[in-house]
Amino acid sequence: MIVDLPDSTISRVLKTLVKIREEGGAVALGRVLTLIISTDLGDEEEAIEAANDASREHPMRVIVVSTSTESDRVDGRLDAQIRVGGDAGASEVILLRAYGETASDEEGLVTGLLLPDAPVVAWWPKTAPAVVSESPLGRIAQRRITDAASQPNPRQSIVDLARSYAPGDTDFAWTRLTLWRAQLAAVLDQPPYESVTAVGVSGSPDSPSTLLLAAWLRLQLQVVVDGELPTSATGSSGIHGVRLVRASGPIVLERSLDDVATLTQPGQPTHDLALPRRSLRDCLAEELRRLDPDDLFGNVVRHGVGQLSEPVQNN
């Protein structure tokens, strides 16, 4: 069910939510969190679809704040829409399209709609504030999700995040590494238990995930990581492969197809492993599984990224 509320107010939105619940019972009360999505006018649907899919694992209230960079040129107005039932997955979606002066107060728009005593997660699917933890929505959220791959300069956005990081920040560039990190950790957890003496990471030149993977390996293994990035945007996007050098020979994990990686190890047959590219829904659902700060990501982005250009300290 979709209810449109043109030229509306937050008070009217709240009254409509209560009416829907009383008349149809379509709005369930078992929500575990509030997800705030901040996006541009016209870019809402992809994020809403991902949130609806993720809500089947994490029932929640979704508040979408949609504004325009040209909002200051038009009169203040709020067009709202409420989606429940089959149009909202296992969530309830409140879409707020704000114009003019109304768009300048994002925190004021959402405060009255937050679920009481429930965690708040803020997500910027596209362009994010320079310092998300100090932004109007970031200040009220326990977790703040950005996507470096959607920024004008993806790799630079990770470097910037390293400077502005606050506990609770995370980025989908890190979430997309989960399967890579799991495969590499599984390989190193098998004999022979030899130290890794060198690491090579390859990927597309605009891949923030490649940068974070290199930073994670540098931090965990304390070896120099060679970032083998091509100088032009040729080949597939994202991470291409990882090479771990040990005394017995190199371990090579390369993504040969979009969903398949090839693992080569000394003295063992070559294996094809499932390593699919993660969807927006998969990334969002994973990040919503934890509402406390991701300390490992914090260490990687604050320390590992900076260490990539530094020599290894021998103790």
Task: List the chain domain ranges.
Answer: 2-172, 178-274
Residue 90 has pLDDT above 80, yes or no: no
| pLDDT tens sequence across 230-289 | 433 344 578 999 999 999 999 999 998 888 999 999 999 999 999 999 999 999 999 999
pLDDT of residue 309: 76
Mean of pLDDT over the chain: 90
User: Would you place residue 5 in the very low, low, confident or very high pLDDT band (cuts 50, 70, 90)?
Assistant: very high
Q: What is the mean pLDDT of residues 65-73?
A: 74
pLDDT of residue 258: 80
Instruction: Give percent above pLDDT 90 in the chain.
Output: 77
Residue 111 has pLDDT above 80, yes or no: yes
Instruction: Give percent above pLDDT 70 in the chain.
Output: 92
- Give one DSSP letter per residue of the chain, joined into a string: -EEEESS--HHHHHHHHHHHHHHH--S-S---EEEEEEEETT-HHHHHHHHHHHTTTS-EEEEEEEE-TTGGGS--EEEEEEE-GGGSTTSEEEEEEEEGGGGG-HHHHHHTTSPTT--EEEE-SS---SSGGGSTTGGG-SEEEE-GGGSSSHHHHHHHHHHH--TTEEEHHHHTTHHHHHHHHHHHTSSS-----EEEEEE-TT-HHHHHHHHHHHHHH-S-EEEE--SS--S-SSEEEEEEEETTEEEEEEE-SSSEEEEE-TTS--EEEE-PPPPHHHHHHHHTT--S--HHHHHIIIIIHHHTTSPPPP-
pLDDT of residue 232: 36
Residue 32 has pLDDT above 60, yes or no: yes
Q: What is the mean pLDDT of residues 74-86?
A: 89
* Lowest mean per-residue pLDDT among 6-15, 74-83, 130-139, 213-222: 74-83
